[in-house]
Copies of this chain bind each other. A is one copy, B any other.
């Protein structure tokens, strides 16, 4: 039975990236999982473990890219899809269909924001280095910080002010993902976030609440958590972090 098999997470080693919302779901619920690529290559780890699946040399659905989860015979890719599969099993989403639709909608919206945050430093092409598109990134960054980031974060703030939580009174995987986005944006754009966060106090409070969950706190302090760095989605390039912008829309 698939449900008695280990959860195996496959994601590029060395970055949090799109794998991190999945790691947080495992960590918050104390669910055992194998972070496969962090094992040595000699033990089946490293990026080579991913390539077997992408090349179709492993059984199951072929993913285009990580993250993907292997659970028994199932291979499930795309962060939001992995979490839609895991969350009912880990108790991170209510049972009823409206709640699951709401959770999935918000998770997809968070993934949209993550794409845009990534594209701030890679506006031209994912295959070029940052230095080869830095001039364009300098155009993108202030527009992202003035218009897009406030639009997304302001949306989550509105939902919190109306409903007191993102999906239900209990913690959900969407709350964990929202925490992760705040973490990443603070790392990438510390000046802009310091200026903006007073406008989204409920979202900031949600971040603090998640950070203080005992298992999350233990995870964040552990060596299991990859540190933010300039190879991931959220990168701290000071030249892209505008000073507080009086035109920031909300």
Contact = CB atoms under 8 A, between A and B. Distances in A.
A55 B204 CA distance: 22
Interface of A: 56, 61-64, 74, 76-78, 80-81, 84-85, 97-98, 101-102, 104-105, 108-109, 112, 115, 119, 123-128, 133, 136, 139-140, 143-144, 147-148, 151-152, 155, 158-159, 162
Nearest to A142: B125
B64 A155 contact: yes
In terms of DSSP, what is the predominant structure of the interface of chain A?
helix
A78 B104 contact: yes
Given A62-B158, A115-B115, A127-B143, 7 more contacts: A62-B162, A64-B155, A84-B104, A123-B136, A123-B140, A124-B136, A127-B147
5 contacts: A64-B151, A78-B108, A115-B115, A125-B139, A136-B136
Number of copies of chain A assembled together: 2
Given A56-B158, A62-B159, A123 B126 contact: no
A11 to B, nearest CB: 15
B124 A101 contact: no
A76 B64 contact: no
Contact of A61 (B56, B85, B105, B126): B105
A19 B17 CA distance: 29
B140 A125 contact: yes
A2 to B, nearest CB: 9
Counting chain B CB atoms within 10 Å of each CB, which of A115, A125, A155 scores highest? A125
